[in-house]
Amino acid sequence: PVDVLTFGEALGSFRAPARLRMGGGINLDVAGAELNVAIGLARLGHSVRWASKVGADEIGELTLRTLLAERVLVDSVVRDPAHPSALMLVDKPRADQARVQYYRTDSAASTLAESDLVPALAAKPRIVHATGITAALSKSASSATTFALRTAVAQGAIVSFDVNHRSQLWSAETAISVIGKFIPFISVLVASADELPLAAGGETDEQVAVEQLIAGGISEVVVKRGADGATAYSAAGRQDADAFRVSVVDTIGAGDAFTAGYLSAMLDGLDIEARLQRGVAAGACAVGSASDWQAAPERTELERLLTAADDVAR
């Protein structure tokens, strides 16, 4: 049995070092929040399956090749000859500002439907991880998400869900209403502090939102706070973890690395404090690289960071 199933859209990511309009060199990578989590977990030694649809095109092949190299199971991914893989452009108007432009309308993954997730769910994953991005792609991807969460709960799996709000894909109002319907299925809810209201009917007071979510059946509400670390609320109350002090190259993907670390410690049977620790450690690794996932730590690297070994490996 596989430890984790996640599903969502992969994007070919084209990254320019400054303003894109200046032309010049572009770096090609693959991205996608769920794919980032899948790689993060695989690097830490867990068995992970990523389910999706990709275009029957070069970006689709790059996605599959990357995931195979990272030991993520892709046996249920469908190649769609009728719809392209999604793309995104990332550029940097300022050194510390990233700007994202999507080309994902009518993409292969936007046609994801319930039936595409049936084989992957049949393998009975211990954890099913989804994000708000998939629900925002299209009506069918949204129903596929509902189906996956409902099936996961019926099979006794733990559902983890990251709000991951993308305002270019849907409005806050729609996100609130759709995510509200997912809440009864979710055990571990992950959100940035500014996204938490979207999971709590628009409630902006963190304490009130958390009480509401826990009363709604969620066992762990995990709040990501960037350089300020992260917090987990549960029956045990509030626990905080500081972020590591590291140099930042790019923060995109840090949240996914954090989630992979958190879920990894959960799979290992560790307590909430250790889950947070592994999350902030993996997040710290991710911000050191421009890629969303390339700096995701392996176990030995994670232990090195957690035990504060010296900066030079000799």
Residues in touch with ligand ADP (CB under 6 A): 192, 224-227, 229-230, 243-244, 246, 248, 251, 254-255, 258, 280, 283-284, 287
Residue closer to ligand ADP (CB basis): 157 or 260: 260
The CB-of-63 to ligand KDG minimum distance in angstroms stands at: 12
Q: Shortest gap between Cβ of 305 and ligand KDG (angstroms)?
A: 21
The 3-state DSSP class for residue 181 equals helix
Residue with tokens 């190299």: 69
For β-strands 11-15 and 86-94, DSSP reports them as parallel
Can you tell me the distance from the alpha carbon of 200 to that of 28, in angstroms, rounded to the nearest whole number? 37
Query: Which is nearer to ligand KDG, 98 or 118 (by Cβ)?
Result: 98
Q: Is 228 a catalytic residue?
A: no
Residue 292 interface partner, choices ligand KDG, ligand ADP, none, CB cut-off 5-8 Å depending on type: ligand KDG
Q: For ligand KDG, give the closer residue by CB, 33 or 148.
A: 33
31 binds, among ligand ADP, ligand KDG, none (CB under 5 to 8 A by kind): ligand KDG
CA 25 to chain CA centroid, Å, is 28
Q: 209 near 199, Cβ under 8 Å?
A: yes
Q: What is the C-alpha to C-alpha distance for residues 141 and 139, in angstroms, rounded to an integer?
A: 6
| Binding positions for ligand KDG, rule: CB under 6 A | 11, 31-33, 36, 133, 166, 252-253, 255-256, 292
Least distance between ligand ADP and beta carbon 212 (Å): 21
CB closer to ligand KDG, 85 vs 234: 85
Pick what 226 binds: ligand ADP, ligand KDG, none; C-beta below 5 to 8 Å, kind-dependent. Answer: ligand ADP
Q: Which two tokens stand for residue 114?
A: 């319930």
Find the shortest distance in angstroms from Cβ 68 to ligand KDG: 19
**Burial class of residue 217, CB neighbours in 10 A (0-12, 13-18, 19+):** exposed
Q: Which stretches does DSSP call E strand in 68-197?
A: 78-80, 86-94, 97-103, 127-131, 158-162, 188-192
C-alpha–C-alpha distance, residues 201 and 55, integer Å = 35
The catalytic residue among 3, 80, 256, 292 is 256
Question: Could you list the active site residues?
Answer: 256
